[in-house]
Structure formats: C-alpha cells, structure tokens
Chains A and B, each alone.
Chain A
C-alpha cells in the first residue's frame, strides 16, 4: 500500500505542518490527525491538519502537488 508520507522518503509531508491553520468555524488551531483517502479502489492514510472539534481539514498546495500527485500517478500506473 503506498503511503502518502512516502515511508520517510519524501519531505513534502513536512509541508503539511509548516503553516499554522485555524478552523474558521470553531476558531481552534488545527492539529495533525490520521486521515483516510481513497483513489482508484485503493485506500491509504496519512496525517494532515484537522480541526480537533469539527474535523475540518487543511491540505496545503505543496503536499497536493508533491507527494499526493506522486501517489496518484503511482496508482494510475498500477
């Protein structure tokens, strides 16, 4: 199963926590939390910033265009 955090190979995961984010609805700071994804019939998870109260998520562009895009490509070629 591919891991979005690249099994430690990829550093873009760190970008996920570089910026602070505050949940707009609950006005509390978002914290890393295990989050599940699925794509083309495969399931996987990684830690991303979530609101501890309402569960709102934040994924920065660096992660989307970095490791997430790589995983998407790997799964498309699988």
Chain B
C-alpha cells in the first residue's frame, strides 16, 4: 500500500473532522444545529423554520414535546450551562412568519402505501411519503390522529399543526378502523408501515437485521412506540422509515442502511471560555434578540484542532481531506494539462514543525505525509529545483569551505564535541567562538564540529543525498573519538536524534546548567530587558528536558520570564523551518509576523534561526548566548546572506588561529563598493555579493554587457550554476567598482 493510500485510510478511520457535534448526535432527528446557528444568529427565523421543518416534520409539535436530549449532550453543560436549544426551537416556531409548507404540483406516483397507526410515527412516515406523491392511506383505530403524543399538549394546537403540514397533500384517512390482519392490507397496498404505538399490534411481525425498519415480511416495515421508542424517537422513526419504504418501492430491497449513531468527536473543554446563559425576560420564551444572544454561546463543536493550530492549514483554509485530495492529484495527475498539479507549492510549504501531530487527538501526522509527498515529487523530478537550490548550495558551503571538524591538539579521543550547526556562526561568529572558549575552560578535550546537520537535504526531500550525508557525519564523529555531541541548535539536535540515534547528544543549555555558568560579560553594552517571553522553537517540541533547561538557565541568569500561548509541546514555527521561504515567501512572512505579535514582550530564543526570523520582523529578541556572553542586544538587523557566509568563515578563522595556531588566508575579494541597503535588497533574493563579483569579473574579462548612455553604468549577466545573475555597476578605477543594482532569474536564456 502506498503512503497515499495509507494516509487516506488513516483519515477515513481516525480523522474526526466530519464527526457530528454532540447535540446533533444526541438528537433523534439529527437536526443540523450548527447549520441553524448561522440563521438564528441573524434572526432569520423563516429560513431556520424551513431547516427545522425538513428535519422534524411537525415543528409546532416537536418544539413543544421534545425533551431536548441535545441540551444534555451540549459541551457547555460541562462548563457553564447548555445552550438553550429548546427555547431556540420554540423561538423558531414563534417568530417564523412563513409556516405554510411548500406545495409541489407533481403527478401522483401511483404507488399505494398503508400506514397502520395514526400516531406521530405513522404521521411522520405518511407526511414524507405524501410529499413525494405516493398514495398513502392511514389506518387509525381512534377517531383522532396523534395517539399518545396528542394527550401531552393542547389538542387543538396539535390538530392544527397536523392539518397545516398536510394541507397540500392527499391523505386517505381511515379513522376508527382497526386493522386485524395484514393479509387484506397487503392485497391492496404495495408497502406497509406498522406503527401501532405503545403495546400495539405487531401482527406476528419479526424485525429483520437486513435493513433499517425492515421486518422479515417483504414490503412491511415497522417503527415507533411499538418498538419501545418515546414520542420524538417514534416520529424520527416514521420520517426515516419513509426512506426505507421508498427504497423498497424503487428497488424491491429491504436494506435501507441503519443510521450511524453517536459521535466520535472529542473536545478539549479546557480551551472553552465561560459564557453565561441568556435568561429569557419573559420567563418561558426568548425574544428575537435574546435568541441571537443565546446562540452566540454555541461552540459549533467540531474537531478542527489541526486547522486551528497549523499555520499551513489555517492560512490556506484546507481541511485534512482536502489536503489529501490535492496532494493525491498532484502526485498522480490525471491530465497533462496544467490543472493537474495543484499542491506542488503546498507540499513544499509544510515547515515540518510537527504541531499537527501534537494537537490532533488522534495524533495524525501531516508533516510526515507532506515529507513523503515531497520525496515522491522529488523522485519523479517534479519538484521545481529553485525551492531548495539556495539552501543546498548553502549546505555545500557550511559542510565544505566553512567546516571545522577537529580535536584539540594532542587529544586522541574527545569526550565531547561542540556542534554549533551551520547557522549559529552565520548569525554571529562570537556565538561559536565565545561558547567554545567557555567549553574548553570546563572540558579541555572537547572537539569542535562545525558543519551542517543535513537538514537542508532532508527538507529538500532528497533521500539519497541525505543518506550519503548521514554516513559522512557518522564517519566524522568516529574520527573525533565518538564523543557526546553538545548541540547549540535544537534542529540539529532533532535531526541527530531522528537519523543518527546512536550518537549521544545533549543541548548546550543542559551542559551550561550542569557545569555552571554565569553572565560572562556583565559589563557588556548590549541592551537587554529584565523580562522576556520564552519562545520555544518547533524543533524542541519532543525535548521537554531541553525546554526546561533553558528556562532554568534563564532563571539562574536572573531573567524574569513569561509564557507564550503556544509553547512546550505546542511550540509553533517561526517561519524558518523547512526552508520554505523561497517557495512561499508571503506565507513565511505572515507566519513570522504572527509569531512576533503573540506577545509584546521581547522574546528569549534558543534557536538562532528563530532569533533571525524575529530580527527580520524588527521584533525585540535575544538568543540566550547573547545574554550569557553579552553579544547582541534586543535590537538587531536581519543578517544578509553575504554576512552569513562571511561570519562562518570568520568563526573558522578564529578557531583555527586560536585553537590550532594555523593562519588562514583571507579570501581575496575585488574592490567592490556595495551600500548596506543594496546588500539587504540582494539578500531578499538570496543574492550574495560574491555572486555580483563573479558577474563583474566575467563582464570585465570578456568586455561584455550593455552600457546605459545616460548613467554610464554597465549591466551584465552571468549564469552561475542554475541561476542567471545581473549586475549593474560602475567602474571607479582600474580595479575598483561600485555596485548599483543586482537581480536574478531562474529561467534560462537559450544557449547559456
């Protein structure tokens, strides 16, 4: 079974999204109370009446006699008090102006049905069949219709409602006629509904398991109080039995499906706010305004935990089933036209944060489903390369030129290795150098292992490359002496735990807590706050001990900390996860914006990517290393892609020079003047200043490009790997240039 079929099965068996709310499941008529909610809220009583009539047949009677099992089932009963659905039904009948049923001028079907028993059950069945123009004859032993139920309310009102609903129908009423045997009835009629009421005649019929309301006698159905139902259940039986009878008349089968009972819905009551019940001023009934106020208390119970929590589902307004369908047709497009691959970008937009699984009462894992879909698309070669190209090249850089994997001099086997990941030094080289210095002061044989954890290839769904890279990591780890790895990035920690579980790991904050650390630069000029909201990165979700260690560390550093609405196991992604920013830039910005707005307090982060995301939003935030080593204050600019590379090389140089006494020659760069504003603009399109240097070098060497006669600027282009870069520049002197603009495109100019 492919993962697609498996996931479809998971949704069918476990997803509760389409389960009815508790009130509807408890209602004998399965009244769509959630559907009525909209109408009640807007005081649209005529429309509400129509829905109500369609479900119950005789609104005037049901509103009076129903004992309201819906209210007992209402989730509010556990919190404050149930929504007064009974009074809302009463208001529907009271305030609806159009209560005349629809009259349809249809020809008779010419099929004769007998209903034995003129109680509510028989009347319900007769009404539905009459509406469909079957020729119905009702046999009633008494001289009035309504049976047991009629005695429970005002008889005149009861009769009026019956006449109202039957006013356009032809119903043959055989009053005072007691049926003694079915044989004569069966000679005259094609189908019979036996609803003879409490302790009524059963004519020796036996209920059959073949279908709803069926007996072992073909064409004969039974339901209602004769089977021990109460009044409302009996009426619901009658209304539903009409469907079984119709099926029999059309197909000859007695196999009407049994209606599903109950609901599998689960709701977390702790998230529901108290809302006090509206008390009717008149005592026994609501005014129109009161009805609208009362229905506003309805929670519209449904399982939408994933759709509320997951940014992808919420912002794209996708239901679980819809996601499956779109992914399915994307992986198996039915046509060659462009309507086939709906979800290519959607698949790439999942940031792999794992929140869906954490909030789902059934623990359905959409992240895993998206990752498998991504892999399927990758293996087909159907995933557009630019979505991950930049990050794969970045990974090549961090695990290539910027990598450091060394034991201290004279150490044969390191007991620890500091693994800062690729982005910690990219954000600020001092995060790595100062931390490593401190670690060495506590544990002098600690190796430094600064490289990529392999997340970019995993997120790009390239299983082959990922597998190869993991082997490389294993080899490097063994060369270091199989140390315990100290991670400084929760995502590296997560990646290792998942794919390299044999390598023992611990998070930096845990080590700092254990070995003891204080603020290392109390004199630092960096500006900090006293109180921070702790922002748990999504990659820390499955590491509660890690999350707690950061909190304890913050306490020991004297930081007051507050909580965010989504934290701990429910941590949400800052927008960095999955490297989705290139495929879905607007979505990523929205997510980062929303995360920034969750608290007015500055954030204390322990994933440097969260730190950078917030810098991009100009949200005050710090990394816990900022506070310990006094590095950067609350306010920071988002690092440009160029800076991110330079700083990694800076960290490498510092490490090699200070710990291994090796001189690393600085890369030779051309003398190119680039304003910071322009560097930031280029960074938004993932353009490195070094890319621009290559374009200029190429243009100068080949004397190519175009000249703007007005400004004298040269504009030239060069394709580097997959992307074509354009640079607009000015030659200041023989070997110095000024960059005026830069841009790039993914499409390829023919012949390049």
Contact = CB atoms under 8 A, between A and B. Distances in A.
Interface of A: 19-25, 30, 35-40, 49, 51, 56-59, 61, 64-65, 68-69, 71-72, 75-78
B709 A78 contact: no
Contacts of A23: 706-707
B746 interface: yes
B715 A39 contact: no
B745 A36 contact: no
Given A25-B703, A38-B748, A20 B345 contact: no
Contact of A24 (B714, B726, B745): B714
A38 B745 CA distance: 12
A75 to B, nearest CB: 8
Contacts of B706: 21-24, 30, 49, 51, 56, 58
Contacts of B702: 25
Contact of B743 (A49, A51, A64): A64
B750 A35 contact: yes
Contacts of A20: 708-710
Contacts of B749: 35-37, 57
A51 B704 CA distance: 11
Contact of A61 (B384, B699, B741, B750): B741
Nearest to B348: A76
A39 B723 CA distance: 11
Given A19-B708, A49-B706, A59 B338 contact: no
Main SS of chain B's interface residues? mixed
12 contacts: A24-B714, A35-B750, A36-B749, A39-B746, A56-B704, A56-B705, A59-B726, A68-B745, A76-B386, A77-B344, A78-B338, A78-B341
Given A51-B706, A71-B747, 11 more contacts: A23-B706, A25-B703, A35-B750, A39-B747, A56-B706, A59-B717, A59-B726, A72-B745, A76-B384, A76-B386, A78-B338
A72 B746 contact: yes
Contacts of B717: 57, 59
Contacts of B710: 19-20
B748 A61 contact: no
A15 B132 CA distance: 66
A24 B750 contact: no
Interface in B680-728: 699, 702-710, 714-717, 726
B747 A76 contact: no
The interface centre, meaning the residue of B344, B385, B746, B750 with most chain A CB atoms within 10 A of its CB, is: B746
A39 B748 contact: yes
A7 B444 CA distance: 68
Contacts of A59: 717, 726, 745
A38 B384 contact: no
A24 B703 contact: yes
A74 B746 CA distance: 12
Nearest to A36: B750
Contacts of B385: 40
Nearest to B338: A78
Contact of B384 (A40, A64, A65): A40
Contacts of A69: 745
Contacts of B716: 24
Contacts of A68: 745, 747
A65 B743 contact: yes
B713 to A, nearest CB: 10
B745 A64 contact: yes
Interface in B315-348: 338, 341, 344-345
B32 to A, nearest CB: 37
Given A40-B384, A64-B726, A76-B384, A21 B708 contact: yes
A39 B386 CA distance: 11
A51 B386 CA distance: 30
Contacts of B338: 77-78
A31 to B, nearest CB: 12
Contacts of A65: 743
Nearest to A23: B706
A42 B561 CA distance: 54
The interface centre, meaning the residue of B344, B702, B747 with most chain A CB atoms within 10 A of its CB, is: B747
Contacts of A78: 338, 341
Contacts of B386: 72, 76
Contacts of A38: 747-748, 750
B345 A77 contact: yes
Contact of B726 (A36, A61, A72): A61
A17 to B, nearest CB: 13
A72 to B, nearest CB: 5
A25 B745 CA distance: 24
A69 B583 CA distance: 12
Nearest to A55: B751
Contacts of A25: 702-704
B255 to A, nearest CB: 46
The interface centre, meaning the residue of B386, B387, B699 with most chain A CB atoms within 10 A of its CB, is: B386
Given A37-B750, A61-B726, A65-B743, A22 B344 contact: no
Contacts of A37: 747-750
A56 B708 CA distance: 14
B708 A61 contact: no
A35 to B, nearest CB: 7
Lowest 9 CB-CB distances: which A-B pairs, in order?
A39-B747, A36-B750, A21-B706, A58-B706, A76-B384, A22-B707, A61-B743, A78-B338, A37-B747
Contacts of A57: 717, 749
A25 to B, nearest CB: 5
B714 to A, nearest CB: 6
Contacts of B715: 21, 58
B460 to A, nearest CB: 15
Nearest to B341: A78
A35 B745 CA distance: 15
A21 B387 CA distance: 33
Contacts of B704: 24-25, 56
A73 B715 CA distance: 25
A38 B719 CA distance: 13
A49 B387 CA distance: 29
Nearest to A38: B748
A65 B685 CA distance: 10
A25 B743 CA distance: 22
A36 B710 CA distance: 28
Nearest to A69: B745
Contacts of A75: 384, 747
A29 B740 CA distance: 22
A72 B345 CA distance: 13
A69 to B, nearest CB: 7
Interface in B369-390: 384-387
A40 B382 CA distance: 9
B707 A21 contact: yes
Contacts of A19: 708, 710
A11 B710 CA distance: 23
A78 B747 CA distance: 15
Contacts of B344: 76-77
Contacts of B741: 61
